[in-house]
Amino acid sequence: MINNSPRTLVHKLASNKKKIDYTPLILIGMFALQGITITQLLFQGSLLLDVKKEPPSRFVELANGQTLKTRPITSRERSPETIDRFTRTMMESLFSANNVTVIQGNPQVAPGVSINNQTILEKNAISLLFVDPELMPMLLDDISKVVNKEILDGSSTRVLKIRYLSKPKKVENKTGYWVVEMVANLYSYNSVKKQLLASKFNKKIELKVVDYPTDTFQNLSLDLNQKILNLEEKEYLKRLFFELSNSGLEISLISSL
């Protein structure tokens, strides 16, 4: 006897229904997840390579205690801040002429420095160490014409006041060279005559990267040390010397603007 009750028929239909195999879908899902994971790993790897190519960060503590985050640069590059600071210090040291220095609260007048039978001040002499050898004779001649008896005895003062200094611009086809334009005034004051004179002093300055010591640097520094300079005993000259030398720059040309 055949049992055709509704429950039996439902059971038979359910048992005869084709079963769905979810294995391919699971495999596809797993491959998709693996693909996403591999893509993420490749992306992270590319980021790590980019980070590896970047120069490592450095932290520099300034004299006032402030800490700055910096990055090293190649030997033929200099930051705009370094170029600006070097240019200002050099131009003021070369063309200002004040022979009165306060040491431990006492004003002192230093003797002039004789180089090639031309007299300049100690600060001028330090600055000439960081000038191209071909430019140095001309600058030495110009500076010696300014350093007269009144400058040497401290009764007259010459001050370069920089009003504007342009951002350094790289020289085309010359690696490690920059040009800076300066707008400045020269003030000459005679304390005895109570006389103040002013003139424009606008210049185009070319700078270049150098690796010290050069032959001129060695010869001139030895010559100066043998004659008058003792940096260990003259702190203000020592600071100027190391501030300029740490920049790794040199003035190669000065022309009228």
Q: How far apart are CA 60 and CA 72, in angstroms?
A: 11
Beta carbons of 146 and 97 less than 8 angstroms apart:
yes
Per-residue pLDDT of the chain (257 residues; tens, 9 = 90+): 445 555 554 455 445 555 556 666 676 767 677 767 777 766 666 655 554 555 555 555 554 555 555 555 556 788 999 999 999 999 999 999 888 877 677 777 877 888 888 889 988 988 988 899 889 889 999 999 888 888 888 888 999 999 999 999 999 888 889 999 999 999 999 888 888 889 999 999 999 998 765 555 555 555 555 554 565 567 778 788 888 888 889 999 999 98
According to CATH, the topology of domain 80-256 is: Nuclear Transport Factor 2; Chain: A, (3.10.450)
Q: Which of 75, 48, 257 is nearest to 175 (CA)?
A: 75
Question: Alpha-carbon distance 24 to 85, whole Å?
Answer: 70
- Dist. CA 140–CA 119, nearest whole Å: 9
AA letter at 99: N
pLDDT, residue 179, reads: 97
- Quick one: 133 exposed, middle or buried, by C-beta within 10 A (0-12, 13-18, 19+)? middle
- E runs forming strands in the chain: 58-61, 67-70, 100-103, 106-109, 113-115, 118-120, 156-165, 169-170, 177-190, 195-200, 203-209, 249-256
d(CA 70, CA 246): 16
Domain boundaries, the chain: 80-256
User: What is the DSSP pairing of strand 249-256 with strand 203-209?
Assistant: antiparallel
- Residue 59 has a pLDDT of 53
Whether pTM exceeds 0.75: no
